[in-house]
Amino acid sequence: MKISMNRLKEIDRDGMWDNLIDFPDHWQKAMDFTRGVDWSVDRKKIQNICMSGMGGSAIGADLISAYSLNNCEVPVQVNRSYDLPGWVDSNTLFVACSFSGNTEETLTALEKAKERGAQIVAVTSGGKLLVEASREGYGYVKIPGGMPPRAALAYSFVPLYRLFDYLGYTAGGEKALEETAVMLRQQVSMLSNTDDNQALVIAREIQDTLPIIYTGSGLMEPVGLRWRCQFEENSKVLAYGNTVPEMNHNEIVGWEQTAHLTGRLSVILLEDMDDHQKVKQRMQIVRELVEDLTVYTIRLQTTGESRLARQFSLVQLGDWVSLYLAIINEVDPTPIAKIDLLKSRLAEF
């Protein structure tokens, strides 16, 4: 069923639609302004990488960590905390990821990384983080501001891709970025067709349900996280997720007691061609075991040649599903009232 653009604009008062339409342009611009960045990093000293961020500022770190897993020769951890792992030291590359530059958890972790002598780089649009990076001489990339952090994913991710490519931890190089740019542009032309498209169909099917997203534990794991976060922030609905094979050893049993949730659950399985063969088999079995207990179950496959294009094919699809679900629910996808309220309450302490 078609969604009229007039109705969409009435609900989407703050312009999340425009941000999604512009995502391919963001990607191209990020490619352009990150060429030749001087990271001021001593590669020989790096024995581990700690990337610190929260929410929409951290998802790019999750995605590059999963993308580079097969090529990165040092351990990588995404840190979502005021504290740091005990192993962070002078042999650590600490990457501060804060869209606003004022994320208190990230700034606190940064100070601890500085005390421990870690090499530090930053990705931010401004704020205290940019001031600190400029003053201390850290390598940094200044990205455009003026949008919700979750809508700035291209700007947050591409600099991290450049950094990991500079360190020799990716296999795709410039070609993967370019292929992904083409794929995103082609895909957005289809997903923005409000007469009929895959994202709109999925959004209608999962309306009034708790969406549960299952993925493998590699390339797709942060994509599942992105779907959940976008449902929560854009659509204002709770979402849940887990990974295969881990959920086969515990969570699958929990499906035995879901009679009271009849008509309230939907399952989305995100899959990639490089998933382990046993994971593919397990995903098929999971679908068979839960399908009769859900309103809607669907398996979605990545598209594209490079790992990067495949990863972002489902990232972008999920973003559009969350937008259409927000419109169907008649909620403006941009405001995050509960987060704003939480921050104001914290300020009282």
CB 94 within 8 A of CB 119: yes
Q: What is the Cα gyration radius of the chain?
A: 20
CB 83 within 8 A of CB 116: no
List CB contacts of 163: < 8 A, sequence separation 6 or more.
37, 39, 41, 95, 121
Spatial separation of the C-alpha atoms in residues 188 and 9, rounded to whole Å: 18
Active site residues: 233, 249, 343
